[in-house]
Amino acid sequence: MSTTTPPETAPGLGLTAAAPAAARPRATRRRGERGPLGTVLLHVGLVLASLIALVPVAWLFFLSLGPEKDDYLHPGRIFGRMGFANYAFVLQHTGFFDWFKSTMIVALGTTFIGVFVAATTGYAVSRMRFPGYKPLMWVLLLTQAFPIAILIVPMYEIFGELGLIDTYWALILINCSTAVPYSAWLLKGYFDTIPFEIDEAGRVDGLTPFGTFFRLILPLARPGLAVAAFYNFITAVGEVAFATTFMLDDSKYTFAVGLQTFVSEHDAQWNYMAATAVLIAIPVSVFFYLVQKNLVTGLTAGGTKG
């Protein structure tokens, strides 16, 4: 007769002791995965970075609402007297729209010409091996080492002989000379990331080198072109020294020069300057919005290959 062993009971309780539960596997973090503390620190850092970027802009907009030029010394007085009178004055009683027209002509001209020259230069150095192609890029980089102060006088004499003083072409060419070297380096690095087999496929299909460049390579290089275009645009909008020197007609002042009209030897109208600065940020923000989809990709892709 078979016998079975009764289950053990806890002494004095009459309850069957449960079998020890199977040990649960410990959760392991994957390599590169952030823990809770890392996530919190990341978000705190992003919030602080956002505040650092936004506080100066918010402060500038706040000052632009003050009616007096000295309100920046006593910002508490602005709360009870906020208004848009400064914006109305700038739009109605200054040459703001002339400044806007001149700035857009110079900035867009610099963007289109500068990006075209930088793209052809970067593509040639990336794909072709000709005598001096490496020194060419270093020469372009070396041009960035010269300060603006020592370039103004010789450039003024050159443009004076060419009859380009007080013309938009003078600023466009000068801004291109500043922006093209960096843009060429940027686009050269981006073109290096595009497989060379695409060029070969284009030639097999009967495309010329120019056809391959314009029909195959440039569409693939849109993120890099967007970054170069934004850099050229910002360079032209914010340039002050050359625009002040080469533009003599008030109607041809750019934004950067127009801002200086609010500052004299003994006075500075900070409220009008703040309002004008906020208005200047609008076209720049619009241009940024148009190219922002490609900016992140373009900024990171060019660094993968040298």
Strand partners of residue 81: none
Count of Cβ atoms closer than 10 Å to residue 175 Cβ:
26
pLDDT value at position 1?
47
Residue spans per domain, the chain: 84-302
pLDDT at site 303: 46
pLDDT given at position 71: 80
Which two three-digit tokens encode residue 207?
A: 């495309």
| Best CA proximity match to 112, nearest among 257, 274, 236, 267 | 236
Tokens of 296: 């992140």
Which 8-state DSSP code applies to residue 213?
A: I
Q: Provide the H-helix boundaries in 76-213.
A: 85-93, 96-127, 133-142, 149-162, 168-192, 196-204, 209-212
239 φ, ψ (degrees, to nearest 5)? -70, 135
Residue of higher predicted confidence among 68 and 8: 68
Q: What is the mean pLDDT of residues 236-250?
A: 88
- Mean pLDDT (whole number) for 2-25: 51
Length of the chain: 306
In terms of CATH architecture, what is 84-302? Orthogonal Bundle (1.10)
